[in-house]
């Protein structure tokens, strides 16, 4: 009989205390063992596409901290890369791409999509075999809007003005791009589940820059399509949506997309989070800088979240990814606070 995976139970509506805990970007630059493997890998993309190394860095935080869930080590931009767009990562600048023109969208070719991503599926298969049986394995993709912002601008920007302007000037072209990305992202998630993922998460890191109508068109509808396509094949696999910065629109996001769980960023008030929790599992939402600060700031942040949300279905997490400056001792302290020890 398969061992109980607590995070899956919580996503299906159970309340568990202390709650299961993991961190976004938990395999990353704050860990010396990650930095060592990253140096060996060559480029960041080489690391994403090398199952031996991707499995190793995914397992590192599980070995060190014993998190309740493990998330596949990869990147949201492997999807456009697999669709034939050039992607490279430069130290200090992040991802860089050749911006896509409105006239190029119709010519995107996905014929080799799954061939390109075969190493990622192999990584997922190996992880499910190598992870402790009780650890939930999370697959993921970027939401179409967030992926499109990088494809249109060619790099990250503070407010995604290039993509927003593209949307106003070429609404039909953007709708076609988002539809295409939704279709291939769903196929990508389905393959991850087939390979062994217990849960999948959709990261919409740039949903907070949009007005009301644009949020509905660019964030809600494409994710709704992904959820529908995944559920048609795997109706019981939980899906977490993380529309960072959605603010007052979190309610409509869950209701319309149909995601199982909601990832909350750190700006979401705990009173709002408690209301959202009455409709299903939530995940979050500690400010990552509290982990950097440590001490009283960290302890109070954890205690407030547990006090407000610990009685319902909660997955304890940060409200965004852990930063490279976070001391390992502070991560250990956070886990002890969550799990009820004295802390450090």
In which residue are the tokens 């062994």 written?
A: 196
Residue 93 backbone dihedrals phi, psi, to 5 degrees:
-120, -20
Query: 25, 85, 249, 254: which is the annotated catalytic residue?
Result: 25
Concatenated DSSP letters of 13-73: T---SSPPB--TT-SSTTSHHHHHHHHHHSSHHHHHT-HHHHHHHHHHHHHHH--SEEE--
Query: 30, 49, 150, 253: which is the annotated catalytic residue?
Result: 150
Judged on CB neighbours under 10 Å (0-12, 13-18, 19+), 292 is middle
Distance CA 171, CA 168 (A): 6
Judged on CB neighbours under 10 Å (0-12, 13-18, 19+), 7 is buried
Report whether 189 contacts 182 (CB < 8 A). Answer: no
Residue 141 structure tokens: 């993709």
Concatenated DSSP letters of 275-295: HHHTTS-EEEEE-HHHHHH-H
Question: Is 179 designated active site?
Answer: no
Distance CA 22, CA 25 (A): 9
Sign of CA dihedral 14, 201, 127, 1: positive
Residue 160 structure tokens: 């995604």
Judged on CB neighbours under 10 Å (0-12, 13-18, 19+), 3 is exposed
In which residue are the tokens 């920007």 written?
A: 157
Query: 29, 88, 125, 231: which is the annotated catalytic residue?
Result: 29
Question: Is 150 designated active site?
Answer: yes
Distance CA 277, CA 66 (A): 26
Query: 5, 30, 38, 85: which is the annotated catalytic residue?
Result: 38
Question: Is 38 designated active site?
Answer: yes
Query: 9, 75, 179, 251: which is the annotated catalytic residue?
Result: 75
Concatenated DSSP letters of 85-108: --EEEETTTEEEEPPPPGGGGGG-
In which residue are the tokens 């988002």 written?
A: 178
Active site residues: 25, 29, 38, 75, 150
């Amino acid at each position: 009989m398969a061992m109980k995976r607590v995070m899956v139970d919580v996503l299906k509506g159970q309340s568990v205390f202390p709650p299961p805990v993991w961190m976004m970007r938990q395999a990353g630059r704050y860990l010396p063992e990650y930095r060592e493997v990253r140096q060996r890998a060559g480029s960041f993309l080489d690391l994403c596409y090398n199952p031996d190394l991707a499995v190793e860095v995914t397992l590192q935080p599980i070995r060190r901290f014993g998190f309740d869930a493990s998330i596949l080590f990869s990147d949201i931009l492997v999807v456009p890369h697999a669709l034939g767009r050039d992607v490279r990562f430069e130290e200090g600048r992040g991802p860089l791409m050749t911006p896509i023109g409105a006239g190029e969208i119709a010519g995107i070719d996905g014929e080799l999509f799954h061939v390109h991503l075969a190493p990622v599926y192999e990584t997922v298969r190996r992880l499910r075999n190598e992870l402790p049986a009780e650890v939930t394995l999370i697959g993921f993709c970027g939401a179409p809007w967030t992926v499109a912002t990088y494809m249109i601008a060619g790099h990250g920007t503070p407010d995604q003005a290039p993509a927003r302007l593209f949307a106003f000037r070429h609404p039909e072209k953007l709708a076609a791009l988002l539809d295409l990305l939704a279709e291939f992202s769903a196929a990508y998630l389905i393959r991850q589940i087939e390979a062994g993922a217990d849960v999948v998460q959709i990261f919409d890191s740039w949903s907070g820059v949009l007005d009301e109508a644009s949020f509905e068109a660019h964030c809600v509808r494409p994710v709704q399509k992904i959820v529908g396509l995944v559920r048609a094949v795997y109706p019981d696999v939980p899906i977490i949506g993380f529309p960072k910065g959605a603010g007052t629109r979190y309610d409509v996001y869950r209701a319309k997309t149909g995601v199982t769980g909601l990832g909350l960023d750190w700006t979401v008030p705990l009173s709002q989070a408690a209301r959202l929790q009455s409709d299903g599992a939530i995940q979050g939402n500690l400010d990552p800088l509290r982990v950097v600060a440590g001490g009283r700031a960290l302890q109070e942040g954890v205690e407030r979240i547990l006090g407000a949300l610990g009685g319902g279905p909660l997955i304890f997490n940060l409200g965004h990814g852990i930063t490279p400056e976070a001391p390992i001792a502070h991560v250990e302290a956070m886990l002890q606070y969550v799990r009820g020890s004295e802390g450090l």
